[in-house]
Structure 1
């Protein structure tokens, strides 16, 4: 039974019944009730995208393309009507994102991207803007990602970017791992290692520690987090548009949303300093003594100096591994 105070009230169950969301909407959005009385949001399309983009997979939602007599559609169907209120919020948010688009293809991309954002939220994410520390960390990882894109290409670099998903290392490549630490340039010369796995050895892989200074500055200096993100988006649009969806998914996992206002924070970032984390590198690494876990500590950068190297040396190793 569909409650009367929802956009789906009055639609007939037992068949596909639809109602246009708004006559003034730029794109063809419909509230729909599916044959099993499941509610849905439908975006009617002129053409199916080729190739079909990856669609998010959520436990209580079905998200699919389908070709009907009236043409192709994208639909988002709720499997559990107990989540109706949350689903309506999701639908309105997806539509709001799509309505910002100038073309149908962009509207579809924005709608899917926003659904990926909900994929992140429904796994325990948050709706508010990222904290200053989280902004610094994301900017640091983006700077290293840009280096990897220039060396390996966008798709391999994005595949290697595992930090947003909560993996122990920020980047995991075929024969190398990179852990990234962002710090204030004027702070004490330490970086915080947040657990014993961040600098732990990975079998058959080299490990690098990249350290960047990310400092908050006053306007008009520096750039916002949104501007750092937009730089990579524009790069991908020009060089490898098929990687944009993967980029958006990583940003969603990191908690970034393009609609959030980050204008209150502006940042400048240094080029990363790289260090080879070898056997003698100063660290507390897994396995730690039985009964200990979540070991965090301050690592003095002065103690890392003997292990310092440059991006060129790291890049050479990455290229060697990529050719084998």
Structure 2
């Protein structure tokens, strides 16, 4: 549970008349939680003695965002209008507070808080829609299972490994750690072995060691759902505040919902194939396609990449170098 969730839970059923409560007292910005007159939850961020001329604020479907100049400085007010998003809202508040701690001064911290707010605007738009598709659930299952396996190798502190899980951030790489990038693919074991590549950037190593894991899974009551995989990792991080907070943020970004039936489907891992994406690995990148081709999706046959297969220990060894 992050600081904002615990503080709102401590407020209980209090409303606007109870006054606002300051959180993160050691932060150079002032963070307050409060209730609006109609009972909606509010986050207020204030910077004393600094007047900002703000650009247009990000638009949210489920939040109201207001910027104001005050007699003592500047203020951003964020009101949650959809109580179903309370958990996501508290994670967003925590993320804003943690990231803005890195500002060199008050003004920089305030601008980081605004930029973080922009990053979350697309998430809340997506959360207002149907939820994850089955293919997205399968893909997330593979990323969580691979992340858990890397954590179990104990090659680095948990918080550093979780920071390297980049998939929920929308990065081209799924996992990046110690100058090694891992692209995670997951497919049903009933299909022929193949790799579906979604862009010309996906297998471009960018100067890093590039590895690719293919998880082949089967629906099974003896297996685990993405919800159960996430719960196992939360349990692992119970005594590691940094890892827990970073994982919680990324689970929200990934769109995992305990209420969605698709997220409850259980899968079992049939096999995990690992490939080293060497220079002669069959792939399309901007550097080897004809001039004028700027985007492409393609499928690589499993039979064509057998010679590039490596074992899990070699992958772990690369990560720990």
TM-score (norm 2): 0.67
Given the alignment, which residue of 196, 218, 230 partners 1:192?
Answer: 196
User: Would you say the 8 A contact 1:94–1:114 is kept in 2?
Assistant: no
Is 2:210 the partner of 1:207?
A: yes
Distance 1:42 1:126, change over 3 A: farther
User: Would you say the 8 A contact 2:92–2:249 is kept in 1?
Assistant: no
Distance 1:115 1:256, change over 3 A: farther
Mapped to 2, the partners of 1:158 and 1:31 lie a distance apart of: 37
Give every structure 1 segment of 4 or more consecutive aligned residues whose post-TM-superposition deviation is greater than 6 Å: 49-52, 82-85
| Cα shift readout 1:135-193 (whole Å, capped 9, x = no counterpart) | 01011111111122233232111111111112111112232111011011110221211
- 2:105 counterpart residue number: none
Mapped to 1, the partners of 2:20 and 2:149 lie a distance apart of: 38
Q: Which runs of 5+ in 1 are unaligned?
A: 1-24, 34-40, 53-61, 67-73, 98-109
- 1:14 counterpart residue number: none
| Matching of residues 289-304 of structure 1 within 5 Å | 289-304=290-305
Given the alignment, which residue of 11, 15, 31 partners 1:64?
Answer: 31
Mapped to 1, the partners of 2:123 and 2:315 lie a distance apart of: 37
| Cα shift readout 1:189-240 (whole Å, capped 9, x = no counterpart) | 212111111111221x2110111012223xx332222112111111111x52
User: Would you say the 8 A contact 1:194–1:294 is kept in 2?
Assistant: no
| Matching of residues 120-135 of structure 1 within 5 Å | 121-122=122-123, 124-127=125-128, 128-135=130-137
| Matching of residues 114-125 of structure 1 within 5 Å | 119=120, 121-122=122-123, 124-125=125-126
- 1:58 counterpart residue number: none
| Cα shift readout 1:228-278 (whole Å, capped 9, x = no counterpart) | 2111111111x5233111101111221223444446522222453211111
Q: Which runs of 5+ in 2 are unaligned?
A: 1-8, 34-40, 46-55, 65-78, 96-116
User: Would you say the 8 A contact 1:225–1:262 is kept in 2?
Assistant: no
Mapped to 2, the partners of 1:75 and 1:63 lie a distance apart of: 14
- 1:142 counterpart residue number: 144
Larger radius of gyration: 1
CA RMSD of aligned residues (A): 3.6
| Cα shift readout 1:58-87 (whole Å, capped 9, x = no counterpart) | xxxx99248xxxxxxx9514998x979744
Mapped to 2, the partners of 1:43 and 1:261 lie a distance apart of: 38
